[in-house]
Amino acid sequence: MTADPGTDHRIIFVTGPSGAGRTTAIRVLEDLGYEGIDNIPLSLVPRLIEGEPLGRPIALGLDVRNRDFNATALIELIDTLTRDPRVSLDVLYLDCAPSVLIRRFSETRRRHPLAPAETPAQGVEREIDLLAPIRVRADHLIDTTELNQHDLKAEVAGLFDTSATGRLSVSVQSFSYKRGVLRGVDMIFDCRFLANPHWVPELRLLDGRDPRVEAFVRADPRFAEFFRKLQDLLLFLLPAHLEEGKAHLSIGFGCTGGQHRSVAIAELVGNALAEAGWPVSKRHRELERRAATGLPDAMRVADA
């Protein structure tokens, strides 16, 4: 894999809670031709792009064991590199259910880096809270709760190995315009012209992944032509970007609250592209944000 045209450095940040599979992911990327560097201090990362390009992409493992790690500094670093025209940056977040992380630490009898003299459960809870802002900011999220090492290797390779399939990986994401547009995406489509399920009482607390919300969105008279033209456009553009050497394409869909219309369209587009043979990952920023903050369903009414 090579860096995108016009950039000198292709970088993947690999992060997530301890025990979620970061080390395995780094090894997979090394097998794919990446230069793997684990636990590099954040303050040293900018130096990697000051010298001559390595000629191969870089995978950096970043977690709480890094000497100067903190979530604010990492987000600032992500924003800085995203704006740098020399850099093509992706953030891969390895996630996992807390109960499984606790079990993994108990089975290996390892001490948690954030709770060396306490129980693993206390360390897991602290780390998940610490990493919550980075999880939301990630370009790719892999939940390893139900994955073994072979499954995880396949997931990582599917996202970042374009040489084997001759395909670039595609990230389809939804977001709320209230909270600001997505950063680092290649193209954005506004879905606010579609009828809003928020104003239907029985749909208000649901989200765009629910078949009832999808059916409502599909029933808009403008949907069919919009979706057909959108699908035709993307299926035309993806091979063109691949021919230009691009390794990853990120597509954003926005609506007012990021709960109904944008989620439904992102799901439908992601499924259509996957059926056409493109490796696709799907993210829903606002749904993940609400899940991370533990808001009850009755408070998840943001699509007005």
- Does the pLDDT of residue 214 top 50, yes or no? yes
Q: Which 3 state secondary structure label does DSSP give 61? A: strand
Domain boundary pick from 119, 145, 163: 163
Q: How many domains does the chain have?
A: 2
The rounded distance, in Å, linking the Cα atoms of 160 and 279 is: 9
Which conformational region is residue 167 in: left (phi greater than 0), alpha (psi within -120 to 50 degrees), or beta? beta
Asked if residue 95 is part of any domain, the answer here is yes
Asked if residue 304 is part of any domain, the answer here is no
Expressed as residue numbers, the domain containing 205 is 166-299
How does the average pLDDT of the chain come out, rounded?
Answer: 85
Look at residues 69, 55, 53 and name the one whose alpha carbon lies nearest to residue 13: 69
- Give the pLDDT of residue 167: 64
- Give the pLDDT of residue 39: 84
- Give the pLDDT of residue 63: 84
- Give the pLDDT of residue 212: 97
170 shares a domain with 151: no
- Give the pLDDT of residue 4: 47
Domain boundary pick from 101, 131, 163: 163
DSSP string, 168-192: -EEEEEEEEGGG-PPSS-SEEEE-T
Asked if residue 234 is part of any domain, the answer here is yes
32 shares a domain with 125: yes
- Give the pLDDT of residue 225: 97
The rounded distance, in Å, linking the Cα atoms of 278 and 172 is: 12
**What is the percent of the chain where pLDDT is above 70?**
91
- Does the pLDDT of residue 14 top 70, yes or no? yes
3-state DSSP: the chain helix, strand, coil percent, rounded to 5?
A: 45, 20, 35
- Does the pLDDT of residue 40 top 80, yes or no? yes
- Kindly report, residue by residue over 73-124, the tens digit of the pLDDT: 899 999 999 888 888 899 999 999 999 998 888 777 778 888 888 888 888 9
Burial letters for 32-63: b for 16+ Cβ neighbours within 10 Å, e otherwise?
bebebbbebebeebeebbeeebeeebbbbbbb
189 shares a domain with 128: no
- Give the pLDDT of residue 190: 97
- Does the pLDDT of residue 18 top 60, yes or no? yes
Asked if residue 248 is part of any domain, the answer here is yes
252 shares a domain with 271: yes
Q: Which residues pair with 176 in a beta bridge?
A: 255
Per DSSP, 269 falls in state: H
- Kindly report, residue by residue over 128-158, the tens digit of the pLDDT: 999 998 998 888 888 898 888 877 887 888 7
Asked if residue 4 is part of any domain, the answer here is no
- Give the pLDDT of residue 107: 79
Predicted confidence band at 296 (pLDDT cuts at 50, 70, 90)? very low
**What is the percent of the chain where pLDDT is above 90?**
41
Domain boundary pick from 106, 133, 163: 163
- Give the pLDDT of residue 299: 37
244 shares a domain with 186: yes
27 shares a domain with 62: yes
Q: Comparing 170 with 3, which gets the higher pLDDT? A: 170
118 shares a domain with 26: yes
Look at residues 234, 253, 126 and name the one whose alpha carbon lies nearest to residue 189: 253
- Kindly report, residue by residue over 165-183, the tens digit of the pLDDT: 556 778 899 999 998 888 7
72 shares a domain with 18: yes
- Kindly report, residue by residue over 262-281, the tens digit of the pLDDT: 999 999 999 999 899 888 88
